[in-house]
Amino acid sequence: MMMRGLVAAGSVLVLLGAGILIWVLGATPTPELASGVGEVQVAAGAAPSRVWAILAGLILAAGAACVGIGMNQWRQGRPRTIRH
């Protein structure tokens, strides 16, 4: 028996996690040269923190788990009965 609410919530979580991951991967730091020294400085706020990538992965995993549970694909400890 499929639990549609859990599948829908899991789908939303997967889309949210994918969106955050695309945002994190798409934002790359833009290096700027310092005043004649040759050092590379990263502009403030150019790249998101690595915590966002971890958070995106956890959200994706939680969403996938909700979809899997909602679709009742995880095996239970007892065998299923076949009804004719």
How wide is the angle at C-alpha 36 spanned by C-alphas 30 and 40, nearest 5°? 25
pTM attached to this predicted model:
0.64
The answer to whether residue 8 sits within a structural domain is yes
The answer to whether residue 80 sits within a structural domain is yes
Select the more confidently predicted residue: 29 or 82: 82
Q: How many domains does the chain have?
A: 1
The answer to whether residue 75 sits within a structural domain is yes
pLDDT by residue (tens digit) across 12-70? Answer: 999 999 999 998 888 766 555 445 555 555 555 556 788 888 999 999 999 999 998 88
Select the more confidently predicted residue: 25 or 11: 11
Full residue range of the structural domain in which residue 17 is found:
1-28+46-84
The answer to whether residue 38 sits within a structural domain is no
For position 27, what pLDDT does the model report? 74
